[in-house]
Amino acid sequence: MGNKRDLLLCLLVLMVAMDGAIASHKWRPFNRSCFPPGFIFGAGSAAYQIEGAALEDGKGASVWDILVRQHPERIVDRSTGDVAVDFYHRYKEDIMLMKKIGLDSFRFSISWTRILPKGKLSGGVNPLGVQFYSNLIDDLLANGLKPFVTLLHFDHPQALEDEYGGFSSPKIVDDFVDYADFCFKTFGDRVKHWVTMNEPNGWSLGFGQGLPPSSTRPYILAHHFLLSHAAAVNLYRKKYQASQKGKIGITLVTTWFEPKFDTTADHKAASRARDFLFGWFMDPIIYGEYPKSMQPLVGNRLPKFTEAESKLLKGSIDFLGANYYTTNYAENGPSNTPFLPTDARVNLTTEKNGVPIGTTTDVSWLFNYPKGLRDLLLYLKKKYNNPTIYITENGVAEANNASLTVKEALKDSTRIRYLGGHLKYLLKAIQEGVNIKGYYMWAFLDDFEWNSGYTLRFGFTYIDYKNNLRRYLKYSAYWFKKFLLN
């Protein structure tokens, strides 16, 4: 922040914006100077979504490498991440684009099987994989970009799935810790922000693997995700944090839920929805136990933590990574969605009395409702003792419309409106005392969007899939560049 005058000006802009008035006059700037000193602005990605080289240079098979082959019908366009957008070979070019925009940081994930092809240290280390990530980190730092690294983003080793069922078995804890240990030891001298895993709360319900939820499996998976996270954090804090001086956390998906109607039943339903999606992981991490609302509804299918496990989990983050995209209405009634376990007994909708909750987008479940981000952040501040937060994902997609020319497709006004609105409400939350340290737009590049394949484009950077994956910055990237320059 430059001075008190700048702060007052930013607050004035924010007040005008919150009232829905025009906030784009040149004499009323809204830009990075409105945010606290040292606030990080970046963009994100995930290994399987962008790297490609899935079968090259000694990389082992992840569960996604196998899923797209064994169940191609689960991917809308029956595509794979074998080549993706070829970040593995083009990362230097992409870093130059990040620098051109003026990003402070790049969030990426490490592919477990590119480092340990068999999933275990005993199965051997892949030196070419280690060299790739080391080079990537060095090149980011050389260009003034902080690496923000996720250890696991949906792509755990197929070898461990075959051996003992992956995260359905407690055996995964030791193997995940060994993998994390290797990464801390090898890259921790340069990486100062670690995320143990991305969206394990959504993954437990089958989002990450395209699997339908069952009555017991989600809770078993979640339990082992939590234990793996806590064990990795414990290792980092005991063995590396003092010398490497980094921070470690976890990233959770954080849809906001509004009661559909102003009734006691719907207010309780919205609260249950928050507990069954977010509190499912955050309560153990902060308080050492599952949410009290979950315990009677799930009963003996909800695993129990031992006293030692509870102690290890409690306080096991230096920061929370929050992925926010949209808001839903929550209504008391039978669960109707894969976004929550059926035990939650919540009916989710995106409209009330025929009116959508926010502006519609090309993504069926994603409505532009930026106020939900502020509401979510104030809720986290109050319920979880104001943790340090990074917004690790926030963004919107266009449909991959083959009828558009590249020039036409670069004009992503929907994304500019989405990001501008969310950044304003993010600033409002900061002014209201929420401890937010950074914001990562999703995604830096158009990519393989999991079960949607290449049918959606979430990126700042347009990928021309018809022309050798050529890169073009979209209008939103230049808008963000201007935002960051001031």
Question: For residue 338, what pLDDT band results from cuts at 50, 70 and 90?
Answer: confident
* Length of the chain measured in residues: 486
CA–CA gap between residue 324 and residue 482 (Å, rounded) = 23
pTM: 0.92
pLDDT tens for 79-114 read 999 999 999 999 999 999 999 999 999 999 999 999
Written as six digits, the tokens of 278 are 């977010």
3-class state of residue 327 by DSSP? strand
Question: Residue 406: how many CB atoms within 10 A of its CB?
Answer: 12
CA–CA gap between residue 23 and residue 34 (Å, rounded) = 14
Question: For residue 28, what pLDDT band results from cuts at 50, 70 and 90?
Answer: low
Residues annotated as catalytic (active site), given as ranges = 393
Question: For residue 2, what pLDDT band results from cuts at 50, 70 and 90?
Answer: very low
CA–CA gap between residue 479 and residue 268 (Å, rounded) = 40
Question: For residue 16, what pLDDT band results from cuts at 50, 70 and 90?
Answer: very low
Give the Cα-Cα-Cα angle 296, 301, 305 (nearest 5 degrees).
Answer: 85
CA–CA gap between residue 151 and residue 176 (Å, rounded) = 9
3-class state of residue 463 by DSSP? strand
CA 429, distance to chain mean position in Å, is 19
CATH assignment, 32-484:
3.20.20.80
Contact 484, 105 (CB under 8 A): no
Q: Give the pLDDT score at 7.
A: 44
Q: Give the pLDDT score at 136.
A: 98
pLDDT tens for 133-166 read 999 999 999 999 999 999 999 999 999 999 999 9
Sheet holding 327-332, edge to edge: 256-259, 327-332, 346-349
Alpha-helix residue ranges (DSSP H) falling in 19-145: 47-50, 63-70, 87-101, 112-115, 127-142
pLDDT tens for 368-410 read 999 999 999 999 999 999 999 999 999 999 999 999 999 999 9
